[in-house]
């Protein structure tokens, strides 16, 4: 039986993954921040060596994208130092580290979807801190999988889908950014992809360590995604009518942190290596009743 240590069990992906790991009969140690602060290197090393896992999955991160512009140290503690501590501990006990990263490592100026080997150039402190974490892992742990994803949503936690459902009940009209495109990614699909990766790695012979992309398809703008959310909510009787949507430019909706205008991640590599298909975000919206707060 494979032993899996899950860090960040209370996040959107962490909650979904914890359920699936247990259902798939893994020997699981799932931890939240109160149980393990990954920025504390000695604590990380002690817990990892005590449990001696085959896999460590890091779903913990500093994710307050706009606050990171002023909370730089906290962002790097969570997104660089923490992953580095996990990588050092994984390397010490011979475990595989599977780490979640983000489309924000890219500038968003490329034409077409981003490949794993495309040049990185983050626009924000959040993106820069996540990139620093990727580099720290690559330097500290040979057996690593860095899984970049984008636009995560699900029934747990705060996300765009739940915000749109709330605003759809409160407003008759709504402006949503339309010049940023990406692949909305259902948290449950990320969890399922991680399970597939864990089950598909032959530890003695695997050589495909490194970066993989996994996100939703088809690509869509935030405004287009909102339109799909409202249409599905009406169909399911969660909204009497959809608000009128006004497409906005990024300049019309300024935020402290600059978002990539192109967050489209190419997922061919993960399909070729592990057989994982892109997240079916449209299918995930069929369960909108579970998202309502």
Q: Could you read off the pLDDT of 7-21 as tens digits, one per residue?
A: 999 999 999 999 999
- Write out pLDDT tens, residues 77-94: 999 999 999 999 999 999
What pLDDT was estimated at residue 203? Answer: 73
Q: Residue 13: enclosing H or E segment and its boundaries?
A: helix 12-23
Q: Is 292's pLDDT higher than 70?
A: no
Q: What is the DSSP letter of 33?
A: T
Q: How far is CA 174 from CA 164, 170, 222, in A?
A: 9, 10, 12
Tell me if residue 117 falls in helix, strand or coil. coil
Q: Is 265's pLDDT higher than 80?
A: yes
Q: Which domain holds residue 67?
A: 3-158+186-215+266-279
How far is residue 167's CA from residue 293's CA, in Å, rounded to a whole number? 12
**Both tokens of residue 269?**
């590599």
What pLDDT was estimated at residue 263? Answer: 97
How far is residue 267's CA from residue 212's CA, in Å, rounded to a whole number? 8
Half-sphere exposure of 162 (CA within 13 A, CB side): 14
How far is residue 129's CA from residue 74's CA, in Å, rounded to a whole number? 10
Q: Is 47's pLDDT higher than 80?
A: yes
**Both tokens of residue 206?**
């695997």
Output the average pLDDT for the chain: 96
- Write out pLDDT tens, residues 171-202: 999 999 999 999 999 999 999 999 999 999 98
140: closest CA among 72, 212, 89, 71?
A: 89
Q: What percentage of the chain has pLDDT greater than the value 90?
A: 94
Q: Residue range 264-273: average pLDDT?
A: 97
Q: How far is CA 25 from CA 9, 19, 28, 98, in A?
A: 17, 10, 8, 19
Catalogue the active-site residues.
126
**Is 241 inside any structural domain?**
no
What pLDDT was estimated at residue 202? Answer: 83
- Looking up tokens 């029934």 gives 155
**Is 119 inside any structural domain?**
yes
What pLDDT was estimated at residue 204? Answer: 79
Q: Which residues contact 192 (CB under 8 A, 6 or more apart)?
A: 20
What pLDDT was estimated at residue 245? Answer: 97
**Is 237 inside any structural domain?**
no
**Is 260 inside any structural domain?**
no
Domains identified in the chain, total number:
1
Q: What is the CATH number of the domain that holds 108?
A: 3.40.50.720
Q: Please, what's the largest Cα pairwise distance for the chain?
A: 58
| pLDDT band at 205; cut points 50, 70, 90 | confident
What pLDDT was estimated at residue 96? Answer: 97
**Is 27 inside any structural domain?**
yes
Q: Is 281's pLDDT higher than 80?
A: yes
């Amino acid at each position: 039986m494979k032993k899996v240590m899950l860090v960040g069990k209370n996040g959107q992906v962490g909650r979904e993954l914890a359920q699936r790991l247990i259902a798939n009969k893994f020997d699981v140690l799932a931890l939240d921040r109160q149980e393990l602060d990954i920025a504390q290197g000695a604590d990380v090393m002690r817990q990892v060596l005590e449990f001696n896992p085959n896999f460590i999955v890091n779903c913990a991160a500093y994710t307050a994208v706009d606050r990171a512009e002023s909370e730089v140290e906290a962002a790097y503690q969570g997104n660089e130092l923490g992953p580095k501590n996990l990588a050092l501990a994984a390397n010490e006990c011979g475990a595989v580290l599977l780490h979640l990263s983000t489309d924000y490592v890219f500038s968003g100026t490329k034409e077409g979807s981003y490949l794993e080997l495309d040049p990185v150039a983050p626009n924000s402190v959040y993106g820069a801190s996540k990139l620093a974490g990727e580099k720290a892992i690559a330097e500290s742990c040979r057996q690593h999988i860095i899984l970049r994803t984008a636009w995560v949503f699900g029934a747990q936690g705060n996300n765009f889908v739940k915000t749109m459902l709330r605003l759809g009940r409160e407003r008759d009209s709504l402006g949503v950014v339309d010049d940023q495109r990406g692949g909305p990614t259902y948290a449950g699909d990320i969890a399922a992809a991680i399970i597939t990766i864990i089950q598909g790695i032959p530890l003695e012979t695997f050589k495909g360590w490194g970066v993989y992309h996994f996100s939703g398809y088809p690509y869509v703008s935030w405004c287009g995604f909102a339109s799909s959310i409202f249409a599905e909510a009406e169909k399911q009787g969660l909204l009497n009518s959809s608000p009128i949507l006004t497409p906005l430019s990024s300049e019309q909706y300024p935020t402290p942190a600059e978002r990539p205008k192109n967050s489209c991640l190419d997922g061919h590599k993960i399909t070729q290596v592990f057989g994982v298909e892109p997240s079916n975000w449209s299918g995930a919206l069929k369960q909108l009743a579970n998202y309502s707060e």
